[in-house]
Amino acid sequence: MPAPPPGEPGQGSPATRRRGEGLLRAIYTATIDQLAACGYSGLTMEGVAASAGTGKASLYRRWASKDDLIIEAVNHVLLGAADLPDTGSVRDDLLDLLRRTTEVVASPTGCAFYALMRGNPSERDFAMLAKKRLMQPRHALVLELLQRGVERGEVRPEAVTPLIGHVGIAMVSHLIMLNDGQVTPDDLVLIVDDILMPIVRVRDDQPSKSSTTRSLSG
């Protein structure tokens, strides 16, 4: 139950109802929590209303359906900032970015977004929205970070690919799934040092063409 906002100064009577923005925020949060807890199929208007500490009538006054509510909640819920780190080294940038990405992915909001992205084809619109808000900005940051590494001579130009841009977050979400929502700081260091850096960094044996990669493993 959210704490009621303080009453007017000098009036001594605290307000007992939320109104407007405060209630909206509680409803969005409740929607995300329900999505994280039981996915799209399991989310009910009753559950959202109960979790938000309000009544169904307040939901239906604003949204005609569960779908409308979800779309708006996904659009408006707060996500962590998506900024490009600048530590001076690609390794440390990747680590910093991966930490921040992990915080978001491991949060209830992250869980809710993943639930939408993994839904079945009838839930495609939600999936696209979740990808647009959660995945695309962070993916773009990784590629930008790698490109900057290329310009610094730290990263192979051939490593700046959409696929390689997904490795970090793929590993994090996989570990979260396998380890009951837990990823340790050590895990992140290992992902960067043992997986990402071997892939992206300029090598001493670096030829300029990726076709040589195949003949080496031939």
Partner DNA sequence: CACATTAGATACGATTGAGTTCACTACGGC
Partner DNA sequence: GCCGTAGTGAACTCAATCGTATCTAATGTG
Residues that bind its own copies (CB under 8 A): 36-42, 89-91, 114-115, 117-118, 120-121, 124, 127, 131, 135, 154, 158-159, 161, 163-164, 166-167, 169-171, 173-175, 177-178, 180-181, 187, 190-191, 193-195, 197-199, 201, 203-205, 210, 213-214, 216-218
Of 58, 107, 147, 161, which lies in the binding site for DNA, with binding defined by CB under 7 A? 58
Please, are residues 127 and 119 in contact by the beta-carbon 8 Å criterion?
yes
Distance of alpha carbon 83 from alpha carbon 170, whole angstroms: 19
Distance of alpha carbon 129 from alpha carbon 142, whole angstroms: 20
- Residue 177 interacts, among its own copies, DNA, none and using kind-specific CB cut-offs from 5 to 8 Å, with its own copies
Residue 10 binding DNA, by CB under 7 A: no
CB neighbourhood size of 212 (10 A): 11
Site string for DNA, 60-99 (x = CB under 7 A): xx--xxx---------------------------------
Distance of alpha carbon 117 from alpha carbon 130, whole angstroms: 6
Please enumerate in sequence order all residues whose Cβ is within 8 A of that of 216, keeping only pairs 6 or more positions apart, or say none.
none
Nearer to DNA, 57 or 81 (CB): 57
